[in-house]
Amino acid sequence: MADHKPPPSPAPRALFLVNRHARRGGEAIGAAVTRLEAGGITLLRRDLPKKHGIPALIREHVGQVDFVILGGGDGTLNGAAEALIETGLPLGVLPMGTANDFARTLGIPADLAAAAEVIAAGRSRRIDVGEVNGHPFLNVASIGFSAELARALSAEAKKRWGRLGYARAALTILRRSQRFRLDLAYDGTHERVWSTQLAVGNGKFYGGGLQVEESAAPDDGRLDVYSLEVDHWWELVALAPALRRGTQGRWRKVRSFSTTELQVTTRHHHDVNCDGELVTATPATFRLRPAALSVFAPAGEGTA
C-alpha cells in the first residue's frame, strides 16, 4: 500500500502594519522582514491608518490572516487591542515607540530583528487586559500626574526627544502638581484619599521603565493599584528609585492594593491616561479582562 503524506500546511499569513511615525519608525525594518519571511510567514503589508482606523483594518482581514504584526509604540498597540480581542487574532510586536513598556513587560527584545525572531518562533502567551470605562489598556491607566504629562508631551516631542522629552516635561509638571480628592470603591471597601496620582496596572512597566508593582505580571489575574499621597513635589523625587523598582507600596504615603474592579469618582472631572493616550475621564470604572489577548512572547512562564 502506498504511503499517503498529508498535504503541507499552508504558510501562516500575517497582517503587517508599521507606524512609520513612531519614535523608531525611521529605522530600517528590512532585517525584521527578512527574518519573518525566512520563518515561512507570508506578510500582507498594509499602510497603517491613524489610530482610530486600526480596528476596522484588522476586522477587514479576519479570515484572511492568522495573526497581526504591529510595529509601533504602546499607543499603536493600545489602538489595536479591542479589535484583537474581538477577533481572537494573536499579536506580534515590533517595538518601535519611545518607551515600549508592553514589549518590556513581555521580555520582547528592543532589537527589531530579534523581536521578529520571537514572532517566527510561534510561542504565544495569553495575557489579561485592563479596561477603564470600556477602553482597553495593556500597561497602566492613570489619573493625575501621568495624565497631565501625556497632555503636555506632544507626539512630535516624543519622537524628537525620546525619554529626555519625558524627563523635561515631567520635571515641569511635577513642580506644579497638586493633590486632588478621589473616592475609591473596591472589594467592599470605600476610601476617600487625597492623591497626586492614581495608577492602575495590568502589566508591569509603564512610563519608560517604571514599575507599577515589583511582582506584577500581565497574566496574574489582578489589577495592581497605587495612590501617591505625598504633600510636596520633592517627595516624588525621593520616591523615584522605588517607582523604578516597583516597591513604592512600602512607603508610608503610598496606598497600594490589588483588585479586579475599581470605581473612582472625583469632585471635578480628571482625564484618564491609558498607555500614554488620554481616552476618557472620571468618574471611572476599572475592570480586568482575564486572558483576553494572545501575544507572541519569548519562551518562559506563560508561553506555549
pLDDT in tens, 148-207: 766 665 444 454 445 555 555 555 555 566 789 999 999 999 999 999 999 999 999 988
Burial of 247: CB neighbours in 10 Å, binned 0-12, 13-18, 19+:
middle
Q: How sure is the predictor about 19, in pLDDT bands with cuts at 50, 70 and 90?
A: confident
24-28 mean pLDDT: 62
Instruction: Please give the Cα distance from 295 to 73 (Å, whole number).
Output: 15
Q: Are 151 and 278 in contact (CB under 8 A)?
A: yes
Instruction: Please give the Cα distance from 141 to 211 (Å, whole number).
Output: 13
pLDDT at 1: 44
pLDDT at 120: 97
pLDDT at 156: 44
Structural domains in the chain, sorted by start: 13-129 (3.40.50.10330), 135-290 (2.60.200.40)
Global confidence as pTM: 0.86
pLDDT at 262: 98
Q: Distance of alpha carbon 292 from its chain centroid, rounded?
A: 14
Q: What are phi and psi of 163, to 5 degrees?
A: -65, -25
The reply to whether 156 belongs to the active site is no
Q: How sure is the predictor about 10, in pLDDT bands with cuts at 50, 70 and 90?
A: confident
Q: Between the CA of residue 290 and those of 16, 85, 130, 190, 220, what are the distances in Å?
A: 26, 11, 8, 24, 9
Instruction: Please give the Cα distance from 147 to 209 (Å, whole number).
Output: 17
Given the C-alpha cell 492614581, which residue does it identify?
A: 198
Convert the pLDDT of each residue in 204-242 to its tens digit.
998 888 899 999 999 999 999 999 998 877 777 788 889
Instruction: Please give the Cα distance from 231 to 214 (Å, whole number).
Output: 24
At 105 the three-state DSSP class reads helix
pLDDT at 38: 96
Can you state the angle between helices 233-245 and 163-174, rounded to 10 degrees? 140
Convert the pLDDT of each residue in 122-149 to its tens digit.
999 999 999 999 999 999 999 998 777 6
Percent of the chain with pLDDT over 90: 66
Q: Are 70 and 17 in contact (CB under 8 A)?
A: yes
Q: Are 68 and 14 in contact (CB under 8 A)?
A: yes
pLDDT at 100: 94
Given the C-alpha cell 506563560, which residue does it identify?
A: 302
Angle at 272 between CA 130 and CA 173, to 5 degrees: 130
At 38 the three-state DSSP class reads helix
Q: Are 221 and 288 in contact (CB under 8 A)?
A: yes
Convert the pLDDT of each residue in 248-269 to its tens digit.
999 889 999 999 999 999 999 9
Instruction: Please give the Cα distance from 5 to 20 (Å, whole number).
Output: 44
Catalytic residue among 37, 117, 235, 277: 277
H-helix or E-strand spanning residue 257: strand 254-259
